Amino acid sequence: MRERIKKISGTLGGRIRQIRGDLPQAEFASLLEIKQAMVSRYEAEKEMPSPPVLLRLARFSGRPMEWLLTGRDPVAELEEAGVRRVGARVSKRLSQADLLAAAADYLRHTQHPQAEAFREMMEAAFRDRELMQKLLEYFQYLKFQGKR
């Protein structure tokens, strides 16, 4: 499945299709203020979206324009590096204070739109042992994913 997503998002049309997700083309077109036929043409790589449409696509998706045009997302790459740093710290069986410092470091350096939700989840985790264990397991998973 992951290979398929990677393959689909390897082109501008594929990334537009990825942004659209499960929305019907007509509904997606309406949100972008274009015709459904244009969405079809963009996804099929038959036509390049105009700059205003590209801007609306970037805003709709919450992704940088660079990702939309090239498939490369420098913000996501920085985020991934930050998660790996936190995961590496967590894997060393740090104290609760050290874990909080690692999470705070991540939140300070992230531009991810869900950073605030992550911060709230971390605060809740320090009050709930079961949730803390789940977070630790997730960090281990991320660390493993980074080594593949």
Domain ranges of the chain: 2-70, 74-147
Measure the CA–CA gap between 129 and 136, rounded to whole angstroms: 11
pLDDT above 50: residue 117: yes
Q: How large is the average pLDDT for residues 48-64?
A: 89
Torsion of CA 10, 1, 77, 107, to 10 degrees: 140
Give the per-residue pLDDT at 73.
72
Across the chain, mean pLDDT equals 75
Give the per-residue pLDDT at 67.
84
Q: How large is the average pLDDT for residues 78-88?
A: 60
2-70 adopts what CATH topology? 434 Repressor (Amino-terminal Domain) (1.10.260)
Determine how many CB atoms are found less than 10 A away from the CB of residue 83.
Answer: 20
Q: Which of 44, 45, 27 lies closest to 36 in space, CA to CA?
A: 27
Q: How large is the average pLDDT for residues 33-57?
A: 94
Q: How large is the average pLDDT for residues 82-93?
A: 57
Q: What backbone phi and psi angles, to 5 degrees, belong to 91?
A: -70, -10
Cα 12–16–20 angle (5° rounding)? 170
Q: How large is the average pLDDT for residues 95-107?
A: 67
Cα 7–25–27 angle (5° rounding)? 135
* pLDDT band per the 50, 70, 90 thresholds, residue 8: very low
